Amino acid sequence: MTLVGDGAWHGKIWTGAWTDGGAGAYDVVEPATGETLGSAGLATPADVATAAATAREAQRAWVGTPYEERAAVLRRAGDLLNANAAEILQWLARETGAIRPFGGFQVHTSAAECYEAAALPSHPYGELLRTGLPRLSFARRVPAGVVGVIAPFNVPTILAIRAVAPALALGNAVILKPDPRTAVAGGVVFARIFEEAGLPAGVLQVLPGGADVGAALVTEPAVRIIAFTGSTRAGRQVGELAGKHLKRAHLELGGNSALIVLPDVDVTAAASVGAWGTFAHSGQICMATSRHLVHRDIAEEYTAQLAERVAKLPVGDPWRDEVALGPLIDTAQRDRVHGLVEASVAGGATVRTGGTYDNLFYRPTVLGDVPVSAPAYAEEIFGPVAPVTPFDSIDEVAELAAGTDYGLSLGILTKDVYAGLELAERIPSGLVHINDQTVNDEAVAPFGGVGASGTGSRHGGPQANIEAFTETQWVTLRGDLPAYPF
């Protein structure tokens, strides 16, 4: 079996069948080489309206499907992801720039999301309530109807399926808008996976498109819930628009996550941990370690070891070569990263290694003695840059780590794990990892940030997913009609 090799998807959107998008087609381009890999269909707001009408009808039948059958579809989807891992890995490498181990992690976690979602249809979905009247009173969770999922380019399989799978399992229809830059790995793959898994036509639709398509998805009356992953700037717009239309928006946004390195650690081991936190997937991860806050007693040694370690990392084409870092997604992202580096150096930071690029291949960069006023310290970088800032005391580092609008992930390295946990309690963060870096994700764990990083944990684990993709309905039953005084 081949998922996308037959090319039926070229120039098309998925509405239960491959159809023409209202805006035509565009080239799918490999960042590493500039080679055209195919063409994807481009949707319009009118396509969203049509898809929503189809999804609403399809959902009415889907929610009536026995729960065992819905669970079986999700299990088959997980099996198909694993069975087609080699093909998906190729698209992740060529379309997104992911090195093979990171692509493998995406496939594994995406399959796990499907398996976890397969347990949701049989999960208890309500509770009996006390009532002072002669009746039965209970609350139950019912599907919202149609869910809109807007997924980003950086980790396109996981960041789509973690909303798509539970929403489908709980009886909703889904309209998925992948980022146009990763429409195959983040969209076409799932259209084919669920087609082969036996999902009825129209229950999942895939509409690559721009901001106008995203806005149409948010304002479409038939779409009752939006699951958005992306930048904080775009997330604020989505949240505002969803609020105007009285619908829920689950927002998983950017981060400026700190790794705190206390002076009692093994510096060599700590530098390895910090390197992974920043440079995995070239830093294009919302949880990436964006600030290395290191005790002044070991800051110079840590910075030197970090720089020495990452200076050796090979950067290049992740599909054709054995590399540690692939390309950034496009020139706009590369220029933004380089601009932050240059501005930070002008503001007092020192380049210990890197700071250069060749086309979209940005060298892993370590900045030492980074002042808190530097852009690379204050802003989300989303690139392979590690700013190191010294601190002198626990009170100072708690203030530094908490002194950001973001609150996604936090890592603390120390031999005294209880002191690390006590420190973490002073720093608002959706995720906390004691003696690990900031990039961690599991299908069974709640995931989400606070502040400018989002609206809390709305992904991962049955409790979060059931709350995210269903509505609460109060029901009472009486055996006889009551007598009223009117």
Say which of 95, 220, 286, 380 is annotated catalytic: 286
User: pLDDT of the chain along its 486 residues, tens only?
Assistant: 789 988 999 999 999 999 999 999 999 999 999 999 999 999 999 999 999 999 999 999 999 999 999 999 999 999 999 999 999 999 999 999 999 999 999 999 999 999 999 999 999 999 999 999 999 999 999 999 999 999 999 999 999 999 999 999 999 999 999 999 999 999 999 999 999 999 999 999 999 999 999 999 999 999 999 999 999 999 999 999 999 999 999 999 999 999 999 999 999 999 999 999 999 999 999 999 999 999 999 999 999 999 999 999 999 999 999 999 999 999 999 999 999 999 999 999 999 999 999 999 999 999 999 999 999 999 999 999 999 999 999 999 999 999 999 999 999 999 999 999 999 999 999 999 999 999 999 999 989 999 999 998 778 888 899 999 999 999 999 999 999 999
Say which of 30, 116, 195, 252 is annotated catalytic: 252
Q: Do residues 227 and 285 both lie within one domain?
A: no
Please check whether residue 412 lies inside any domain of the structure. Answer: yes
Q: Do residues 232 and 265 both lie within one domain?
A: no
Please check whether residue 242 lies inside any domain of the structure. Answer: yes
Q: Do residues 50 and 62 both lie within one domain?
A: yes
Q: Do residues 248 and 266 both lie within one domain?
A: no
The letter for the amino acid at 291 is R
Q: Do residues 230 and 377 both lie within one domain?
A: no
Let me know if 114 is a catalytic residue: no
- The confidence score (pLDDT) of residue 423 equals 98
Structural domain for 287, as ranges = 257-434
Q: Do residues 289 and 206 both lie within one domain?
A: no
Q: How many CB atoms lie within 10 A of CB 195?
A: 18
- The confidence score (pLDDT) of residue 159 equals 97
Please check whether residue 441 lies inside any domain of the structure. Answer: no
Phi, psi of 146 (to 5 degrees): -115, 130
Residue 113's domain is classified under what CATH number? 3.40.605.10
77: tokens are 């989807």
Q: Do residues 247 and 262 both lie within one domain?
A: no
- The confidence score (pLDDT) of residue 325 equals 98
Helix, strand, coil abundance in the chain, percent, nearest 5? 40, 20, 35
Q: Do residues 249 and 262 both lie within one domain?
A: no
Please check whether residue 464 lies inside any domain of the structure. Answer: yes
CB 191 within 8 A of CB 70: no
In tens, the pLDDT along 281-297 reads 999 999 999 999 999 99
Q: Say how many domains are in the chain.
A: 2
SS3 per-residue string spanning 84-115:
CHHHHHHHHHHHHCCCHHHHHHHHHHHHHHHH
Q: Do residues 237 and 296 both lie within one domain?
A: no
Let me know if 286 is a catalytic residue: yes
Please check whether residue 449 lies inside any domain of the structure. Answer: no
Residue 385's domain is classified under what CATH number? 3.40.309.10
pTM attached to this predicted model: 0.96
Please check whether residue 113 lies inside any domain of the structure. Answer: yes
Q: Do residues 274 and 169 both lie within one domain?
A: no
Q: Do residues 412 and 461 both lie within one domain?
A: no
Q: Do residues 149 and 287 both lie within one domain?
A: no
The upper half-sphere exposure of residue 59, i.e. CA atoms within 13 Å in the direction of its Cβ, equals: 26
- The confidence score (pLDDT) of residue 461 equals 84
Please check whether residue 176 lies inside any domain of the structure. Answer: yes
Q: Strands across the sheet with 257-261, in order?
A: 350-353, 365-368, 385-391, 289-295, 257-261, 409-413, 431-434
Please check whether residue 389 lies inside any domain of the structure. Answer: yes
Q: CA-CA distance, 93 to 209, in Å (whole number)?
A: 22
333: tokens are 């992202």
